[in-house]
Amino acid sequence: MAIHPARPRRMALALLLTAMCLVSLTACSAQPPSAETIDVIQLEGVIDPPTASYLISKLQQAEEDGVQAAVIEIDTPGGLDVSMREIVKEILESDVPVISWVAPPGARASSTGTFIVYASNLAFMAESTELGPATPINFAGAHPDTVDQKVTTDAAAFIRDLAVGRDRNPEWAEDAVRDAASIGAAEATDIGVVDGTASSLADLLEKVDGADVETADGSSVVLETWDESEDVLSASLRFQNPNLLQQLLHLVTDPEFAFLLLLIGAFGLIFEVYNPGIGLAGILGAVSLLLGFYGLSVLPTNWVGVFLIVLGLVFFIVDLQIAGLGLWTAGGLVALISGSVLLFAGADESLRLSPWAIGAAVALTLLFFISVMTAALRVRLRRPITGEEALVGAVGEAKTDIAPEGTVMTKGTLWRARTMEMGIAAGAQVRVMATEGLVLLVEPVYEGSPTTADIVSDP
């Protein structure tokens, strides 16, 4: 097969650009951005409030730093309408030219991604990518047909206005909303949906070179991104990434991750209640629950599903108390699976839990209650004497200051403890005087006091 003479040249340029990108990353960290700088912002996954916050902050930073242009690399199945409108508003008001690029090959810009492409000053697609459909995704469950029709009509009018404002094909834009139309890169270029195709960042920056873009403040900006005489990139690149908090919040809004956080948080609190100690399980459980509920608050959650999941865990706890794997465990499994299926019922299919995630959750729950909790309870109950006599009178060591609460090690187990004294220093000997549930009431052992052996052997 004959090789097109331009292909080796393109490959060489791609390799050259990769090397220049690495150099640019180092340079950008040492030098402030300039009018020749181009920001490259990656937009990937579901568009939710954390994603919108990240993208808007990077566009505002690009404007503050006075960079030449901002490239948004898009690969998204869509997202929340409110997040999309915030992003579109920021793009339309930006004084920095915004270039949307659906990439890499195989990527898509569906739903809200299509609106972002239409709002940008320039738009390109890599080969083997897809734009649309732009039908509004109902993230909040089923609505009456009249409500859905109003939402669709509003979205169609909005994207048509964007198309007219950016001189793009308005007919296809409306079809993408009303009829769920989608289109490939080549056809999108032919009918004026996007400005061209570009399968690499080097190709994109070469094609936008010399483009005259009118920004929100009415000024005209001519992009200078490629040196034709040297056939190399003439602008420096600054790759923008979300900070750790934005990455974390975006991660917990993944439906499956939020679901697992809910379970892990519940497991941590259950373990802490049954095995009081230093509180690590409780702290991790509480943090996981908070993050999980944050994700559920953003996602289209069916709270009946949440109730069923909690009910299933309660059934497992009941069976744990009666030391059996019978009717309560079966009921817990039914409630857990039903709640998992209903958790995002009515939402878009891309947001529903996969069978693999539900199966993993069931296996994790069984492992926790049958193995971890059973072993933990066995350790707790493994004592030669039952009742209060197993601990009352025992001497232990204060592992932390007890003022008035702390932790005590006695009979090889770490317990929560409380004292009525002024305070007991860490390392001091203490005697258990009574118990209140899972908390020991202790007092310091004074010199000359009887030992545990004396108390046990005393007739």
Pick 35 or 94 by higher pLDDT. 94
C-beta of residue 181 within 8 angstroms of C-beta of residue 191: no
Q: What is the pLDDT of residues 210-243, one digit of tens each?
A: 999 999 888 899 999 998 888 888 889 999 888 8
- 318 and 409 fall within a common domain: no
Residue 67 pLDDT > 90, yes or no? yes
- 348 and 425 fall within a common domain: no
CB-CB neighbours of 443 under 10 Å: 16
Under 8 Å CB-to-CB from 332, ≥6 apart: which residues? 312, 313, 314, 315, 316, 319, 365
Considering the domain boundaries, does residue 33 fall inside one? yes
Burial class (CB in 10 A: 0-12, 13-18, 19+), 38: buried
Considering the domain boundaries, does residue 226 fall inside one? yes
- 305 and 172 fall within a common domain: no
DSSP annotation string for 352-404: SPPHHHHHHHHHHHHIIIIIIIHHHHHHHH--SS-SGGGTTT-EEEESS-BSS
Considering the domain boundaries, does residue 8 fall inside one? no
At 450, the pLDDT band (50, 70, 90 cuts) reads low
Residue 201 pLDDT > 90, yes or no? yes
- 29 and 142 fall within a common domain: yes
**Residue 97: per-residue pLDDT:** 95
Residue 248 pLDDT > 90, yes or no? no
Considering the domain boundaries, does residue 211 fall inside one? yes
CB-CB neighbours of 356 under 10 Å: 9
**Residue 382: per-residue pLDDT:** 54
**Residue 378: per-residue pLDDT:** 64
Choosing from 212, 246, 280, the residue where a domain stops is 246
Under 8 Å CB-to-CB from 374, ≥6 apart: which residues? 320
- 326 and 419 fall within a common domain: no
At 353, the pLDDT band (50, 70, 90 cuts) reads confident
Under 8 Å CB-to-CB from 347, ≥6 apart: which residues? 138, 139, 140, 141, 299, 300
CA dihedral (271, 274, 278, 283) in degrees, to 10, reads: 40
Residue 302 pLDDT > 50, yes or no? yes
**Residue 330: per-residue pLDDT:** 87
- How many domains are contained in the chain? 3
Choosing from 207, 222, 246, the residue where a domain stops is 246
Considering the domain boundaries, does residue 413 fall inside one? yes
Residue 41 pLDDT > 90, yes or no? yes
- 172 and 60 fall within a common domain: yes
Q: Residue 425 is part of a domain; what is its CATH number?
A: 2.40.50.140
Considering the domain boundaries, does residue 424 fall inside one? yes
Considering the domain boundaries, does residue 4 fall inside one? no
Residue 198 pLDDT > 90, yes or no? yes
At 438, the pLDDT band (50, 70, 90 cuts) reads confident
SS3 2: coil
- 299 and 427 fall within a common domain: no
What average pLDDT does the chain have?
82
- 182 and 50 fall within a common domain: yes
**Residue 27: per-residue pLDDT:** 40
Q: Which domain holds residue 193?
A: 20-246
Considering the domain boundaries, does residue 150 fall inside one? yes
**Residue 7: per-residue pLDDT:** 44
DSSP 179: S
**Residue 121: per-residue pLDDT:** 96
Q: Please report, rounded to a whole number, the percentage of residues in the chain having pLDDT higher than 70.
A: 81
Structure tokens that stand for 22 in this block: 């690495």
Q: Which helix (H) or strand (E) holds 58?
A: helix 49-65
At 390, the pLDDT band (50, 70, 90 cuts) reads low
Q: Residue 118 is part of a domain; what is its CATH number?
A: 3.90.226.10
What distances in angstroms separate CA 211 from CA 200, 225, 333, one per listed residue?
A: 18, 10, 61
- 242 and 265 fall within a common domain: no
Over the range 1-17, which residues count as b (16 or more CB within 10 Å of their CB) and which as e? eeeeeeeeeeeebeeeb
Residue 381 pLDDT > 80, yes or no? no
Residue 20 pLDDT > 60, yes or no? no
- 115 and 200 fall within a common domain: yes
- 173 and 144 fall within a common domain: yes
**Residue 412: per-residue pLDDT:** 77
- 171 and 285 fall within a common domain: no
Hey, which residues does 38 pair with through a beta bridge?
A: 69, 237
C-beta of residue 383 within 8 angstroms of C-beta of residue 411: yes
Average pLDDT over residues 99-109: 94
Distance of CA 201 to the CA centre of its chain: 27
Choosing from 357, 381, 405, the residue where a domain stops is 381
DSSP 349: G
**Residue 448: per-residue pLDDT:** 57
Residue 133 pLDDT > 70, yes or no? yes
* Integer Cα distance of 87 and 66 in angstroms: 19
Which pTM value belongs to this model? 0.65
- Low-confidence winner among 160-169, 246-255, 369-378 (lowest mean pLDDT): 369-378
**Residue 308: per-residue pLDDT:** 93
End-to-end CA distance of the chain: 101
Distance of CA 86 to the CA centre of its chain: 19
* Integer Cα distance of 290 and 298 in angstroms: 13
**Residue 350: per-residue pLDDT:** 65
Token pair 């791609």: residue: 14
Nearest 5°: CA angle at 48, between 47 and 52? 80
C-beta of residue 209 within 8 angstroms of C-beta of residue 203: no
Under 8 Å CB-to-CB from 346, ≥6 apart: which residues? 138, 140, 141, 142, 300, 302
